[in-house]
């Protein structure tokens, strides 16, 4: 059965995005020309402009559709455990395992941060936030109590800590300074849940 015009249009759009994604990751945004995208996608430059007004519109769609958020949050929402600690452990392992499958992710985010100065991050954050709040709702129904921390701060601290584990693992993998035990993800999880101070330890003058 012949494909409809709409189906052909969708297929062309996907080819453009896949070609642009590959070239952006390999070369960066500024070094990728529209003509290069058209060549890899197998379409004319004019066909690209039928789908996207500018190259930045292509980047915005690539960032939105290729962000690992799409693979991560289904794992998060399906995390197993009866307590908050167990859920956090399950989510952290799932997140790091998934990021390890996505070597492109650092390039994707560095392009956004360096070449765009994080211009599109607020839009990305608005897309991710509703699912992040769903995860917090799951935690509230598990055994254990969360401290009175703003939800956005809690989500940010979780993402930041375990993303740092992923990044430093890449940079330090071949350094020889860390054994598998020293650099264990479970240590990060323990730090996130319980902090770095021994039980009953107080900060002088703070009364904590």
- pLDDT tens digit sequence for 34-68: 999 999 999 999 999 999 999 999 999 999 999 98
| CATH class assigned to 5-54 | mainly alpha
Q: Which tokens is 73 given?
A: 């949050």
Q: Whole-structure pTM over 0.85, yes or no?
A: no
pLDDT digits (tens, 9 = 90+) for 135-179: 778 888 888 888 888 877 887 888 888 888 888 887 777 666 666
């Amino acid at each position: 059965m012949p494909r409809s015009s709409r189906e052909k249009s969708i297929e062309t759009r996907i080819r453009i995005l896949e070609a642009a994604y590959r070239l952006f990751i390999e070369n960066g945004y500024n070094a990728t020309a529209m003509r290069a995208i058209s060549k890899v996608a197998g379409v004319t430059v004019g066909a690209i402009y039928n789908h996207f007004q500018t190259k930045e519109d292509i980047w915005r769609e690539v960032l939105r559709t290729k962000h690992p958020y799409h693979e991560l949050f289904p794992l998060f929402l399906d995390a197993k455990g009866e307590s908050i600690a167990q859920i956090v452990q399950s989510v952290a392992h799932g997140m790091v395992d998934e990021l390890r499958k996505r070597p492109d992710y650092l390039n994707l985010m560095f392009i956004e941060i360096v070449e765009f100065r994080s211009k599109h991050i607020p839009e990305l954050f608005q897309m991710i936030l509703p699912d992040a709040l769903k995860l917090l709702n799951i935690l509230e129904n598990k055994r254990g109590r969360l401290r009175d921390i703003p939800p956005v701060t809690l989500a940010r601290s979780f993402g930041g800590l375990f993303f740092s584990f992923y990044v430093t693992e890449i940079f330090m993998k071949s350094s020889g300074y860390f054994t598998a035990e020293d650099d264990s993800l479970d240590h990060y999880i323990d730090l996130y849940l319980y902090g770095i101070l021994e039980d009953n330890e107080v900060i002088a003058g703070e009364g904590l």
